[in-house]
Amino acid sequence: MKNIDSNSHLRGESIYLDDVPLVAGTLFAVAFGSPHAHGKITNLDLSQAEQMPGLVRIFTYKDVPGENQIGGIVPDEPLLAEHHVHFQGMPVVLVVAESVEEAKMALKKIKIDIEPLPIITDPRVAREKGELIVPPRTFKIGDVDTAWSQCAHIVEGIAETNGQEHLYIETQGAYTFPLENGSIRIISSTQGPTAVQRHAAICLGIPMHKLEVDVTRLGGGFGGKEDQASMWAILCALATYHLKKPVKYSLDRMEDMRMTGKRNPYSSDFKIGLDKDLKIIAYEATFHQNAGAAADLSPAVLERTLFHSTNSYFVPNVRATAYSCRTNLPPNTAFRGFGGPQGMFVIEAAIHKAAEIIGVPAWEIQSKNLIKTGDEFPFGQKAESEANQCWQTAKEIFQPEQIEKDIEKFNSENVLFKKGMSFMPICFGISFTKTPMNQARALVHVYTDGSIGVSTGAVEMGQSVNTKMLQVAAQIFSVDPDRIKIHSTNTFRIANTSPSAASATADLNGKAVEIACHAILARLKTITSEKFSVSINDISIVNEEVLIKGKPMNYNWLQLIQDGYLKRIALSEHGHYAPPGLHYDAKIEKGHPFAYHVYGTALTEVTVDCLRGTYVVDSVKIVHDFGTSMNFAVDRGQIEGGLVQGIGWMTLEEIVYDENGRLRSNALSTYKVPDIYSVPKNIDLHLLKTDKDNMAILKSKAVGEPPLMYGIGTYFALRNAVKAFNPDAEMAYSTPMTPEKVLMGLIGKLETNDAITK
Ligand code: LUZ
Ligand code: MOS
């Protein structure tokens, strides 16, 4: 079925925040961000700013009627700074004026004096100074300390991944409206309508039932709006609360890049031990997460790093420890993969380094250690694995031995161009790691004209979740999809939503839709059984026709609904779904946190221009575990997009903060994101079709985040190509692999990680 948004997207008619028509009297807000990364506010002078034309009011923390607090996991993040600032761009005051231009002019007249405090930007320095967001956590299986003695090879090293700017096409923003009796309507570009509602209620000191958060769609989120949309929505709501006027704040690109957090960078230590048959016997990792100045979602991201520290491999002896380190950068946050990619990169680096030292291709180690059904992850869950099936299928279809031979031939015949390849298996756990978040609700109305309205907690952000929700309802009722409309996500219709995140949105909300539709269908069948004096089990609805024992009765959907109304049965239902069987005990770090895992294997080939250091990704060939895809076009879109986003993270996207905590890569002129030329020339996607009765919606496995991690393969393929030119190249396991780094590897010895950290 085609994406239900494609027509309106193509015609420019889809409604994003900036397409909401302005209401007369709307005021415009802009936040004044701290010019220093760490310090004490000694003086704040708003007098000149307050004289500026068009200025309506400037709000400080003193104007927050409730608690000045928006921290989600740890209460460590004020809405507006009080006496301290802890990152550059941290909102200190909110300027509200009659136009955006006037607000920005007034902003320039604000004077602030800050007594500087020491600035930390490096997570290892933060750890040394005891600046931890939460206590460290350790996942363990087997006994690492005794296992080293069984190893024929032991390899240690450092692996580092940089952050990543979300670069949703639609920047952060919100538009708030005063309703009756102190209620406020909030249109927010958020993945978490309830997060906005809950924190606005805390800051304003009013009950959640007075806050209607409404989300039609986002122009992308990627995790950046899971928690960090709240700030802008609450700031607008604060102004509306006081001024009783509509207030809008839509960040410009540079504000957004400077003031919001990104993917957490990590600096990690690894030690891997293998026996003489290349079985991984032991693995130890210490992760230093750069959390930024406040917890935000970093403790949860940290947890997922640990859950994915062994990627798609079974390792009998593991000790993985993770530190969430406080630095003076904007609070880092969720980003597609949510710590998983950061953990997976480290074990891939460990395997790669071991392979280099032992003198075997990395894929030999990878293939010998893939997790099997029944193997235990370090956190206690037993795998139901498709890892070997994906790998074997990839080997059969893609003929890697032949590719390797072709590459060797090419490399021996070419001096200035070298090719490299790599395998990247993935394994991604589907569910929020915080078990209680795994629940969702849907509200289904059947109207007397036979049309159907569906509301869920799912937020449409370009991933086409609404198309999937519509497919679920259409399939269960067996009606024409045109009868169904998916409504906006609204906290007055659906309460206590989990954010659209963790790749779990279609599963959780889709199952809630299923439950609601089945309940209505059961009532419709009851009246049908009375009408025709037949058993309920003999009734089916197929393509809008009511059948009895498979025979048409000249009785259709519309007649059925109209009879249902006359019989006064409920044609509406609120469905609730919570996946069974999930549990986790953080005290012992064991449990069954995931409904299931998604597996896959990617084979990446690259060509490096050895004169320039530039490169192209020739092809990425993928075998992906879809379950039974309910919409292949949508799922393929997620896989291609995730892959390219992963390649960007691994190759081009270089976030640079200086020692003062100032973002230097603060615009698209200094921050390079993948474009059409960075897309692999060939993306060859094969389905691994499985038909297990798993917890995926219509057996169609979650597809949002897993493909991003295929991009990790590009990093290792590039390293291999560089090594083909310069076998002595010493390259730190440090991303992104920019053309500059490739060039350094080609022409000489680059400083090693060890030298950098010393
Ligand atoms: N968000 C979250 C996520 O709150 N918990 C998770 O486990 C998660 N996983 C992936 C992406 N977002
Ligand atoms: Mo996400 S990183 O699933 O918001």
H or E segment and range at residue 126: helix 123-128
- The percent of residues above 70 in pLDDT, for the chain, comes to 99
**Ligand with smallest separation from the Cα of 438:** 1
* pLDDT reported for residue 213: 98
d(CA 314, CA 371): 4
- The percent of residues above 90 in pLDDT, for the chain, comes to 97
* pLDDT reported for residue 1: 86
d(CA 65, CA 56): 19
CA of 79 to the centre of ligand 1 (A): 23
CA of 399 to the centre of ligand 2 (A): 35
* Residue from 74, 191, 226 whose mutation best tests the ligand 1 pocket (most atoms within 8 A of CB): 226
**Ligand with smallest separation from the Cα of 226:** 2
Contact 619, 605 (CB under 8 A): yes
**Ligand with smallest separation from the Cα of 433:** 1
**pLDDT at 140 > cutoff 60:** yes
* pLDDT reported for residue 26: 98
**pLDDT at 693 > cutoff 90:** no
Instruction: Tokens for 429, please give them.
Output: 């756990």
Q: How many CA atoms, within 13 angstroms, populate the side-chain half-sphere of residue 348?
A: 31
CA of 133 to the centre of ligand 2 (A): 20
Nearest to 519 by CA among 453, 483, 572: 572
The ligand 2 atom nearest the CA atom of 338: 2
What is the crossing angle of helices 298-307 and 340-358, to 10°? 40
Q: Mean pLDDT, to the nearest integer, of 628-646?
A: 97
383-397, 528-542, 678-692: least confidently modelled range: 678-692
Instruction: Answer yes or no: is the C-beta of 226 below 6 A from any ligand 2 atom.
Output: yes
**pLDDT at 225 > cutoff 70:** yes
DSSP string, 584-613: EETTTTEEE--SEEEEEEEEEEEEEETTT-
d(CA 300, CA 295): 9
Quickly state the pLDDT bin for 749 (edges 50, 70, 90).
low
Contact 170, 16 (CB under 8 A): yes
Nearest C-alpha to atom 10 of ligand 1 is from which residue? Answer: 502
What is the crossing angle of helices 340-358 and 712-725, to 10°? 30
**pLDDT at 694 > cutoff 90:** no
Nearest to 670 by CA among 648, 652, 647: 652
Quickly state the pLDDT bin for 158 (edges 50, 70, 90).
very high
Cα angle 567, 573, 578; round to 5: 150
Nearest to 694 by CA among 479, 434, 431: 431
Nearest C-alpha to atom 3 of ligand 2 is from which residue? Answer: 501
Structure letter (DSSP) for residue 144:
H
- Label each residue of 607-663 as H, E or C: EEECCCCCEEEEEEEEEEEEECCCCHHHHHHHHHHHHHHHHHHHHCCCCCECCCCCE
**pLDDT at 412 > cutoff 60:** yes
Structure letter (DSSP) for residue 315:
-
Place of tokens 């602030």: 112
* pLDDT reported for residue 347: 99
* Residue from 297, 497, 598, 638 whose mutation best tests the ligand 1 pocket (most atoms within 8 A of CB): 297
d(CA 622, CA 601): 6
**pLDDT at 691 > cutoff 90:** no
40-61: per-residue pLDDT in tens?
999 999 999 999 999 999 999 9
**pLDDT at 757 > cutoff 50:** no
Residue of 589, 705, 740, 751 marked catalytic = 705
CA of 229 to the centre of ligand 1 (A): 15
CA dist 73 → 56, 343, 434, 499 (Å): 34, 21, 11, 14
Q: Does residue 692 or residue 530 have the better pLDDT?
A: 530
Q: Phi/psi at 465 (nearest 5 deg)?
A: -65, -30
Instruction: Answer yes or no: is the C-beta of 191 below 6 A from any ligand 2 atom.
Output: yes
CA of 576 to the centre of ligand 2 (A): 22
Instruction: Answer yes or no: is the C-beta of 501 below 6 A from any ligand 1 atom.
Output: yes
Instruction: Tokens for 478, please give them.
Output: 């067996």
**pLDDT at 530 > cutoff 70:** yes
Contact 105, 52 (CB under 8 A): yes
How many residues are given for the chain? 758
Give the pTM: 0.97
- In the residue annotation, 740 being an active-site residue is answered as no
Place of tokens 């997060």: 195
* pLDDT reported for residue 690: 83
* pLDDT reported for residue 748: 78
SS3 state at 257: helix
Instruction: Answer yes or no: is the C-beta of 334 below 6 A from any ligand 2 atom.
Output: yes
Nearest C-alpha to atom 5 of ligand 1 is from which residue? Answer: 432
Instruction: Answer yes or no: is the C-beta of 595 below 6 A from any ligand 1 atom.
Output: no
d(CA 86, CA 37): 5
CA dist 719 → 246, 267, 419, 716, 722 (Å): 54, 19, 10, 5, 5
449-480: per-residue pLDDT in tens?
999 999 999 999 999 999 999 999 999 999 99
d(CA 431, CA 582): 9
Instruction: Answer yes or no: is the C-beta of 307 below 6 A from any ligand 1 atom.
Output: no
CA of 432 to the centre of ligand 1 (A): 5
**pLDDT at 750 > cutoff 80:** no
Q: Mean pLDDT, to the nearest integer, of 733-754?
A: 83
Instruction: Answer yes or no: is the C-beta of 501 below 6 A from any ligand 2 atom.
Output: yes
Q: Mean pLDDT, to the nearest integer, of 263-279?
A: 98
CA dist 148 → 272, 276, 318, 369 (Å): 9, 13, 11, 17
SS3 state at 57: strand
* pLDDT reported for residue 546: 98
d(CA 66, CA 201): 8
Instruction: Answer yes or no: is the C-beta of 338 below 6 A from any ligand 2 atom.
Output: yes
Query: Strand pairing partners for 263?
Result: 333
Q: Mean pLDDT, to the nearest integer, of 212-232?
A: 98
* Residue from 215, 225, 305, 336 whose mutation best tests the ligand 2 pocket (most atoms within 8 A of CB): 336
Average pLDDT, the chain: 97
d(CA 327, CA 407): 44
d(CA 53, CA 94): 16
Instruction: Answer yes or no: is the C-beta of 502 below 6 A from any ligand 1 atom.
Output: yes
SS3 state at 25: coil
